[in-house]
Structure 1
């Protein structure tokens, strides 16, 4: 039950953080936002490293650093770029493929074969989320399938791929070492910073100083919710639940993102709500 609650909390915190991060794309590039949020999050959780035995956990550290580079440095940069192009809900709904990807990787790499019931639930969730992603939701502006939109979806798919690979590495460490979620979260954040370090620009601090106070507050709030709490909850999920099942629950973000759809100028129709209901139904099958 703790893993299930952690998954829903992670999805909620990540969804709201995505909404706040998208607002910051007016001031920063996706890469700059990723750098800022990871440095802030690393500082917040830094005490977790003070009780860490580096000598006996070298292999685990290396895998987690790699997980951070792939999932945070690359994956989050792709994700925030997608947010800027196609918006919060459409970016989140591209995660329709992530439960299936996670289930396949969990089966092949971690030997976690899901039951028939869980497989059926994961399939229903994935199809429902895909339907939401492809459905042309009514909005104040007519969406056009132009090159820019295609790039947005491409970045979203790349972010999903990076995230699932990083999740597989994280679960391997959490199930084969004594490291706790706080420690693994901090090491992954360090990996993300290492991956982003070559792209840190000298004028980044100046840009942050020029940011309005309201935006600074939103940036810190989004970082704490989406990066600190989001990854911490996520690590708890990977520690307690099989990868495929855990990722299916983490993929409830599109349902939660409906609460911010109005803020982004979207009007939801009955088809979107029906597909969302199917998503909830699929999750219900997994949990029964």
Structure 2
């Protein structure tokens, strides 16, 4: 049950944070938002550093650092860039693939054996999420207008997220590191990586007088929700649940995003409600 509630908490945190990041991406570069939130998030959790015995399990820490760079530095930058280019709904449509990708990757890479019901549930969730997104984007936008860069960013962010999650899962089940400790290690490595590459962008952001106090407040709130609590809850999920089941739960963002759909100009119709209900049936089958 801990894994289940952690997954729902992570989804809620990400959903509201993504809404804020999309608005702020109209004024800031995606990489600026990513480095801002990760540096700030690592500072918030900085006291956790004192609880980590850095030289006792060097291999695990190195793997988590790689996970942070892949999932947070690269993956989140691609994700925010995708939000800016093709919007929240289309970006989330590609995230609908994560349950199937994660289940497949977990099976072939770390020998997690899933019963047939998990595959069926993952397939139902992926299908339902895609149809939810389809109801809210393709009706409004010309589907013939394909932005290749946005699609590549969305696909790249999905692959980075699943690979990073797999690395985290391996360490969480094979070492004594806690979800909170693994969260801070990943955040620190991601922050250092981003700062070294985009140092100029970060300094320009701090010196940018056009960024208002409201912008900073929004970024701080979204950092606490989507980065600190979001990643912490995610790590708890991968501590207590197999990666395939965990990602099936974590992929419910489009369903929860319906609660903020009016603010983003989306309409909810009967089919959207039906597919939302169907996605929960898929989750129920997976967890049964």
Give the TM-score category using the shorter length: over 0.9
* Secondary structure in 1 matching 2:104: helix
Does structure 1 conserve the Cα–Cα contact (< 8 Å) formed by 2:10 and 2:233? yes
| Deviation by residue 1:154-181 (Cα, 9 ceiling, x = unmatched) | 2111101000000000000000100001
* Secondary structure in 2 matching 1:90: helix
Aligned residue-pair number: 285
Superposition TM-score, scaled by structure 2 size: 0.94
What CA distance in whole angstroms lies between the structure 1 residues aligned with 2:10 and 2:270? 27
Report the counterpart of residue 219 of structure 2 in structure 1: 219
Report the counterpart of residue 189 of structure 2 in structure 1: 191
* Secondary structure in 2 matching 1:266: coil
What CA distance in whole angstroms lies between the structure 1 residues aligned with 2:149 and 2:260? 23
Report the counterpart of residue 176 of structure 1 in structure 2: 174
* Secondary structure in 2 matching 1:183: helix
Does structure 2 conserve the Cα–Cα contact (< 8 Å) formed by 1:63 and 1:169? yes
Does structure 2 conserve the Cα–Cα contact (< 8 Å) formed by 1:38 and 1:192? yes
Report the counterpart of residue 200 of structure 1 in structure 2: 199
Q: Does 1:160 align with 2:163?
A: no
Deviates more, 1:104-113 or 1:163-172: 104-113
Deviates more, 1:96-105 or 1:188-197: 188-197
Q: Does 1:95 align with 2:95?
A: yes
Write the mapping of 1:130-169 to structure 2, written as runs, cut at 5 A: 130-135=130-135, 137=137, 142-148=141-147, 150-169=148-167
Report the counterpart of residue 254 of structure 1 in structure 2: 254
- Structure 1 residue 142, shift from structure 2 partner: 3.9
Does structure 1 conserve the Cα–Cα contact (< 8 Å) formed by 2:81 and 2:150? yes
What CA RMSD, in Å, does the superposition of the two structures yield over aligned residues? Answer: 1.6
What CA distance in whole angstroms lies between the structure 2 residues aligned with 1:195 and 1:45? 17
Deviates more, 1:231-240 or 1:86-95: 86-95
Does structure 2 conserve the Cα–Cα contact (< 8 Å) formed by 1:40 and 1:223? yes
Report the counterpart of residue 121 of structure 1 in structure 2: 121
What CA distance in whole angstroms lies between the structure 2 residues aligned with 1:62 and 1:169? 10
What CA distance in whole angstroms lies between the structure 1 residues aligned with 2:137 and 2:41? 34
* Secondary structure in 2 matching 1:267: coil
Report the counterpart of residue 231 of structure 2 in structure 1: 231
Moved over 6 A (4+): none
Does structure 2 conserve the Cα–Cα contact (< 8 Å) formed by 1:89 and 1:261? no
Which runs of 5 or more residues in structure 1 are unaligned?
Answer: none
What CA distance in whole angstroms lies between the structure 1 residues aligned with 2:142 and 2:7? 32
Report the counterpart of residue 277 of structure 1 in structure 2: 277
Does structure 2 conserve the Cα–Cα contact (< 8 Å) formed by 1:49 and 1:186? yes
What CA distance in whole angstroms lies between the structure 2 residues aligned with 1:52 and 1:254? 36
- Structure 1 residue 213, shift from structure 2 partner: 1.5
| Deviation by residue 1:119-169 (Cα, 9 ceiling, x = unmatched) | 211111111122234446477x54453243x43232111101000000000
What CA distance in whole angstroms lies between the structure 2 residues aligned with 1:142 and 1:173? 43
Report the counterpart of residue 49 of structure 1 in structure 2: 49
